[in-house]
Chains A and B, each alone.
Chain A
Amino acid sequence: MSKGFITLGIDTEEDKIKYCYALALSIKQSDPAQQVCLVVDKDKMELVPEKYKHTFDYLIELPFGNTAHKDGFHGMNLWQMLHCTPFEETIYVDSDTILKNIDTQLLWDTFSNYDIAISPMARTYRNYVTDKTWKFEIELHYKLPCLYNNLIYFKRDAPMALEWFKMADPVFQNWRQVYQHLFNEKKPPTFNKNLLGNIVTHLCDLEDNISCPINNLYDFENKSQGHWGEDIPDNWTDMLNYWYTNQHKLMIENSVVNSGIIHYQDENFINKDIIDAIRDSVTTTQQKQKTTS
């Protein structure tokens, strides 16, 4: 069965695809044999910078066009992933994520018994289990599933995966109406892809079937990190010191993240130095493999 990672990259005025590029490089750094597919806006293939293309095995356009072209919430296109993936088994990853020293085979093995799988747990940069009270405030209030939808595994032809993505189509495209119907008390302030993913899971009644704990999934959303106060900046890079070395080592304050799927969520984190460091380590890994073979 063909397997690979897929991510969604839609450029606006600024280069957003660099985050997909960093993600793809990091996947190749973990395992150069892994396939990566970048999904872009329809008829906007030329927006992918030439220098990034070598990292992607597939460049695919959104089959139904960018359904978020009015709102600008590009996560609205998540429902199209099943319809455009070139792989029989796919891991969808948010573009603001990097993989670091992951055993990809173990990851595929973990998912192998599921038709569609999403993790109900994530860790902080200090390796604690995240505090869900802020990120999942709405879900907890309405007793919805609390899953981390930045990483979704699915088998393209599995009925359960088809069901989930079929439900995702109207929910993601009509999120305002969905909010209106479901939320009478607390209301989320704006489009929230993670919340909508959990609504889809709830509407399909699939939480028990698709919950698959991934122990090395990290979520750096600042208010979920177990800091003492709530009066803290939204971006963790405004608050915490961090270093990313050429040896592919990420250190935040006094804690090291040695290995994991890191949903950093803060675009200030990825800069040219980090991209260069990941690219250099990919090149080194590939050279090592050539030498060995």
Chain B
Amino acid sequence: MAEESKGVCIIAYNNNQLDYISFASLCAVYVKLHMKTNNVALITDTGTAEWMETSVPKNIQEACFDQMIIQDVQHESNPRKHLDSPWTEFKAQFSNKNKNNVFRISPYDKTLLIDSDYFIMNDFYDYIFDTDISLGLHRDAVYLQGQPPYLNEIQLNEGGIHHWWSTAVYFNKNQTEAEIFFDIWSHVKDNWDYYALLYQFAPALFRTDFCVSIACHMLNGLNNDSFVHDFNGVPLLNMDQKDDVVEVKDLQDWILLSHDRKEPWKNVLTRLEKTNLHVMNKRAISRHKDSLWKHIGKVLNV
């Protein structure tokens, strides 16, 4: 039997507010630098790819991505409110409706799909490529100082099912369970209003986290069992949209501001080293883009 191909996929669709391709490029380099399984495929559309041609130098593109898969999809309107610190908010299109297609279009048998704002700073995920695990997602998350997630990030409603995270999804294409998982995800997407009613969550914003939560719930026997692998119980580390990046001291050494939820004018300086980080404040990434590339340049010579 031929050896199974392994790699990481990142999806990026730009909008008029956020330059997702620049985030994806940074995240791809982080994968390259910190994981052993570091083939990276970019899934994007023609418009975003053309923008990349003009905004990202060729040698950096080549350093970031091994493959580029263009999938032109009709992005339905899905406006999302973003925050940049507790005091600034803006709306931007959230193009996430074809995320489930990764099962079909990923060039790898074993794939880790990560969001374009997920910075991989260690080799934690490498282990899973050497296992027979069919599917893996984070069951839990914490914020910068170990704060628990917001209530609707723990369960979908008051009496509802557990919330799983689609920020990092591992799957093996050759295993049926993974195919079933993505079929359910697709089915939930196609019947969004029905599932919003059945699982009692607000349907206004399409969220892939809710799709995967329902799919995991079903695969776990409708009773929160442990069939779906949860990365050994390791929680996802989130940086809130209300938090900020103060300084990137080094590629794996970030200084951040963690806001106080009850008194948001208070912030605590937090330092993270060699820790995977889901940077939900996109504008904070934009502000530190140059600094990040400077550090990357020193290591990669690009």
Contacts and interface: CB of A to CB of B under 8 A. Distances in A.
B17 interface: no
Interface in B18-62: none
A240 B159 contact: yes
Interface string A249-262: 00101111110000
Nearest to A228: B158
Interface in B109-164: 151, 155, 158-162
Contact of B223 (A226, A228, A257): A257
Contact of A254 (B151, B158, B222, B225): B222
Interface string A47-80: 0000000000000000000000000000000000
Interface residues of A, number: 17
Main secondary structure of the interface of A (DSSP, over half): loop
Contact of B224 (A128, A225, A229): A128
B221 A256 contact: yes
B159 A127 contact: no
Contacts of A127: 223-225
Contacts of B225: 127
A253 B221 contact: no
A227 B223 contact: no
Contacts of A128: 224
A151 B265 CA distance: 51
Interface string A267-282: 0000000000000000
Interface string B206-223: 000000000001000111
A254 B199 contact: yes
Nearest to A128: B224
A229 B151 CA distance: 11
Contacts, number: 37
A266 to B, nearest CB: 15
B198 interface: yes
B160 A253 contact: yes
A107 interface: no
A239 interface: yes
Interface in B201-244: 217, 221-225
Interface in A116-162: 126-128
Contacts of B221: 256, 258
A128 B225 CA distance: 9
B239 to A, nearest CB: 24
A228 B161 contact: no
Contacts of B217: 254
B160 A229 contact: no
In this complex, the member of A128, A255, A258 whose beta carbon has the largest number of chain B beta carbons within 10 angstroms is A255
A229 B158 contact: yes
Interface string A6-45: 0000000000000000000000000000000000000000
Contacts of B151: 228
B159 A225 contact: yes
A123 B158 CA distance: 17
In this complex, the member of B151, B221, B222 whose beta carbon has the largest number of chain A beta carbons within 10 angstroms is B222
22 contacts: A126-B223, A127-B225, A128-B224, A225-B159, A226-B155, A227-B159, A228-B158, A229-B158, A239-B159, A240-B159, A253-B160, A254-B161, A254-B199, A254-B217, A255-B161, A255-B223, A255-B224, A256-B221, A256-B222, A256-B223, A257-B223, A258-B223
Given A256-B221, A258-B223, 11 more contacts: A126-B224, A127-B223, A127-B225, A227-B159, A228-B151, A228-B158, A254-B161, A254-B198, A255-B222, A255-B223, A256-B222
Interface of B: 151, 155, 158-162, 198-199, 217, 221-225
Ranked nearest first, the 3 interchain pairs of A and B with the lowest CB-CB distance are: A256-B222, A127-B224, A127-B223
Interface of A: 126-128, 225-229, 239-240, 251, 253-258
